[in-house]
Amino acid sequence: MFDFLWNLGSFIIALGILITVHEYGHFWVARKCGVKVEKFSIGFGKAIWRKVGQDGTEYVVAMIPLGGFVKMLDERVEDVPADMLNQAFNRKTVWQRIAIVAAGPLANFAFAIVALYAMYLIGVPSIKPVIDSTKVNSPAAVIQLSEPQQIIAISGQDVRNWEEVNFALVGHIGNDSVDVTLAPLSRMDGIDDKGKTYQLDTREWRFDPEKESPITALGLGIFRPGINPIIAAISENSAAQIAGLMIGDTILSINQQPYKDWNSFVDVVQTSANKPLSVDIERAGELLQIEVVPQAQTNDNGDTIGIIGISPTAAQWPENMRFDLEYGMIDSVSAAVDKTWQLVVVSFKMIGKLFTGDVSVKNLSGPISIAQGAGASANYGLVYFLGFIALISVNLGIINLMPLPVLDGGHLLYYFIEVITGKPVPEKVQEIGFRFGAALLLMLMSVALFNDFARL
């Protein structure tokens, strides 16, 4: 219940900020163009707060936080007094109307820069992208490793942490190849090394983002510190909890076989569904033997496996692999702009790949997934939440620029046609377009919601 409320609260805060930014973009430019704004609303439905400002605009916060709107004086919607015709939206020049409509998405891009600027000033705890193996019969099999190597670039784009590697690879889904540049670990100790570049054949590169990352799907083995056989977490109502295992217990052996490594321990558990296992542990200096019966569970392949519901303690990352990704007050500006541009490019590429079929519509996410992402990022801390809302802000701006008549991009399409032809698009044509756009948008939202529920 707490997780639900936390996710919901984080979602409302994130969406509220982004909607306010988007609508304020429309509002601010409309006012600058001399348009009378009658209402500025965040949310839909019944108002829970309202105020009429000195400028005559009614400011509203409504119950349903899934959108917002700026209501402007417009002859196409209602009768306008003769003395206020010069303040009507429809009486403005086509370029002024374009500026007002485009201001919303542009405000989202500007906000992403601000959020990322703050994130880089604070500093993001990061891990350098180091691989220690490659998978046989995978695109990465061409890479031969004799020691762990750091990924320093993807197709010429410098990368500093796993997040940047992930974003860079996503942009290459559907491409015939991707270049991965590696450098030895000694480079991290200050030795200049331009690294060696490998070209990976990605013509057969296919993966499900719900099950694996593009990094492991390529066959790159992510370096991880060792795992200590000390129980760090126990799931509620799990076999481990029922048996009496406790956080802090050190695993010594299983079925009289000394503990070797975590993977071997998991293998024994998974092949012993509903079968009692004898686990020797050390607790506060005392040796104990506990019988655990792994609970049966079906995995993604349809196989029955055993689980006991514990997590081990991970060893600390090597000091030379940890760093804070941060910049000074000036450098943070260029870093934030560059990151926002990368997000824009990747987002447009992903939309294009949806149409070409390189990316499945199963990857579309709706409000439930966004709420979960908001809650998870907020749980990690402010810097992660800033990065999350920057990503969503960019996506909100791009979605609104799509040429669907019901969105800002559809209005812009009509206005640019007006620029070319010298006359407005006929009202009947616009009406047909709005109906088509609304139907298509509803279909996309339905698919996204279906995907959300399927992931629960």
Least confident of 243-252, 260-269, 407-416, 444-453: 444-453
pLDDT tens-place string over residues 335-358: 899 889 988 888 887 777 667 666
Mean pLDDT to the nearest integer, 63-71: 85
pLDDT digits (tens, 9 = 90+) for 139-195: 998 998 888 899 999 998 888 888 888 888 887 887 889 999 998 875 544 445 578
% of the chain exceeding 70 in pLDDT: 87
* 218 in a structural domain: yes
Query: Are 194 and 139 in a shared domain?
Result: yes
Mean pLDDT of 36-53: 89
Give the whole-angstrom CA distance, residue 138 versus residue 152.
20
Q: Residue 43 domain-assigned?
A: no
Do 156 and 233 have their domain in common? no
| 249 and 279 belong to one structural domain | yes
With cut-offs at 50, 70 and 90, classify the pLDDT of residue 429: confident
According to DSSP H, which parts of 422-456 are helical?
A: 427-455
Structure tokens at 150: 């750091």
Q: Which residues pair with 291 in a beta bridge?
A: 278
For residue 176, being part of any structural domain is answered with: yes
Per-residue pLDDT, 181: 93
The answer on pLDDT for 328 being more than 70 is yes
To the question of pTM greater than 0.85 for the whole model, the response is no
Does residue 279 lie in a domain region? yes
Q: Is residue 259 within 8 Å of residue 229, measured between CB atoms? A: yes
- Shared domain for 235 and 219, answered yes or no, is no
Mean pLDDT calculated for residue range 70-91: 87
Do 221 and 142 lie in one domain? The reply is: yes
How many domains does the chain fold into? 2
In a domain, 406, yes or no: no
Residue 135 domain flag: yes
- Asked if 209 and 261 sit in the same domain, the reply is no
Q: Per-residue confidence at 59, pLDDT binned at 50, 70, 90?
A: very high
Out of 116-120, 317-321, 347-351, 377-381, the most confident range is: 116-120
Residues with Cβ within 8 Å of 254's Cβ and at least 6 positions away in sequence, in order, are 265, 268, 269, 277, 278, 279, 280
305 and 171: one domain? Answer: no
pLDDT at residue 203, as a whole number: 86
Burial environment of residue 362 by CB neighbours within 10 A (0 to 12, 13 to 18, 19 or more): middle
- Among residues 257, 284, 315, which one ends one of the domains? 315
Q: Provide the CATH number for the domain around residue 311.
A: 2.30.42.10
On average, the pLDDT of the chain sits at 84
**H-helix segments, 278-330:** none
Q: What pLDDT is recorded for position 373?
A: 66
* Among 23, 212, 291, 431, the one annotated catalytic: 23
Q: Examine the domain organization and report whether 174 and 244 are in the same domain.
A: no
Higher pLDDT pick, 303 / 107: 107
Has residue 237 been placed in a domain?
Answer: yes
Question: Is the same domain home to 206 and 321?
Answer: yes
Q: Is 291 a catalytic residue?
A: no
At residue 6, the pLDDT reads 74
265's tokens: 């321990």
Q: Are 321 and 214 members of one domain?
A: yes
Q: Alpha helix (H) ranges present in 178-226?
A: 214-217
Question: Which tens digits make up the pLDDT trace of 365-397?
Answer: 655 666 666 666 766 678 888 888 998 899 889
- For residue 315, what is the DSSP state? P
Position with higher pLDDT, 359 vs 399: 399
Q: Are residues 321 and 221 in the same domain?
A: yes
Residue 59 lies in a domain: no
> How far apart are the C-alpha atoms of 18 and 35, rounded to whole Å?
23
| CA distances, 181 to each of 158, 160, 165, 191 (Å) | 9, 12, 11, 16
pLDDT of 186-242, one tens digit each?
A: 554 444 557 889 999 988 887 766 667 888 889 898 888 888 889 999 998 999 999
Could you list the residue range(s) of the whole structural domain that residue 144 is in? 126-225+317-325
- Residue ending a domain, among 253, 288, 315, is 315
| Among candidate residues 295, 325, 355, the one where a domain is terminated | 325
Q: Are residues 221 and 321 in the same domain?
A: yes
* Count of CA atoms in the C-beta half-sphere (13 A) of 95: 0
